[in-house]
Amino acid sequence: MRYLILAAVAALSSAITTGSAAAQPDTGGDPGAVLSARALGGGELIPGSASGFRISYRTTGQNGEAVVSGGTIYLPGGVAPAGGRPVVSWAHGTSGMTQGCAPALNGGMADTFDETPQLATYLAHGYAVVASDYIGLGGPGVYEYLAGRAAGHAVLDIVRAGHAVDAELSESFALAGHSIGGQSVLAAAGMSADYAPELDLRGTLAYAPTSNVEELIALLSRPGVPVLPGLDGLHARLVMILAGLDHARPDLGLTDYLSAQGREVLAVARSGRDCLSSLESAVAGRSVGELFSAPLPEPVIAALRDYLSVPTTGYRGPVVLLQGGADTIQPVPTTVLLHQQLQAAGTDNRLVLVAPATHFTILRSADAEAQTFLADVLPTGQR
């Protein structure tokens, strides 16, 4: 069943009561303040979760504006250890562009792959999981696809919100995300020292993170570019990026450089019908060049780089990049380049290349590496 956030401005007047210790949520205006929360019903709980909440909370948009995000908190069973349950803040993959397209509202589906088993694995190891919907997917507002700062803020602020909802959560947490969620957690880790200095970030797991696509998109964003085989889903994702950038930076006049067909598919992306399938159908078999009436000028390209780029400095805690060797959505060279960029900047990071894994099997294929990393940086007392 689909559950939508009903009121972004509804403050709770009493403590939430569940089987887990709960604190009165903060109803103020700071990032991470909880605006609404309800306990999950049995059918909404994922494997490994004994209880949980659907929440809406305050966060910060791409340009520093105050906004609202939805999200879900899942809690494992048993007695919380001394110091509280360590937390994994999870960032999901591509799921659509409009309210109601959040994976938690659609059976866990993201990027055509069910990420729920990954969250269940974290829960089985004793971690509490907080999972942002991002701004505009599970609550009010407009989702800006791959807007790094907006998504990074949301995955940090749900950690703050989790502490307001459940007093038994630890101050220590790790970030983990897949695909665009990989970009989100890298953005969050890079800004955490400045944006959320009170949070105890121990490390970051980025599975097949979206990175180093800015120059490719700049190259493709012009008339005459043909159909490009071998880059799965690039066309639809480019449309979503353009729609997000146009919303974040209306001053650029981005639609002035789009063809009639480009403006039509942008409208399809924004309509949110079927979340992804209508957009994918609208661009199927069409060339990327058909989107454009003129090449994007340098000011737009510069804004695109700012919108998409992954930080290379500012990280707290080590970073592990988990990449499938058979990934055709986020190809190996982009993640190898990211690894090299982080190394050059002095960021503690490691690249784990799993040769047979695809974009959609990397979570399962790299699970042993991921769990070893988490146990080292964020021990739960379970092994």
DSSP assignment letter at 126: T
Q: Tokens for 313?
A: 């400095």
In sequence order, the β-bridge partners of residue 74 are 52, 129
CATH 3.40.50.1820 correct for 34-211+310-377? yes
**CA of residue 288 relative to chain centroid, distance:** 25
- Domain segments of the chain: what residues? 34-211+310-377, 214-307
Q: Calculate what percentage of the chain has a pLDDT beyond 90.
A: 75
Decide: 75 and 85 in contact? Cβ < 8 Å: yes
From the list 306, 184, 309, 311, the residue with the least C-alpha distance to 252 is 306
Kindly report, residue by residue over 318-376, the tens digit of the pLDDT. Answer: 999 999 999 999 999 999 999 999 999 999 999 999 999 999 999 999 999 999 999 99
Kindly report, residue by residue over 1-41, the tens digit of the pLDDT. Answer: 222 222 332 333 333 333 343 444 444 589 999 999 999 99
Q: Cα separation of 169 and 317, whole Å?
A: 19
Looking up tokens 């303040």 gives 33
Average pLDDT of the chain, as a whole number: 89
Confidence at residue 111, expressed as pLDDT on a 0 to 100 scale: 64
Distances in whole angstroms, Cα of residue 190 to Cα of each of 152, 194, 204, 232, 317: 9, 9, 10, 28, 10
Residue 46 has pLDDT above 80, yes or no: yes
Q: Which amino acid is at 116?
A: T
Q: Tokens for 27?
A: 């109803």
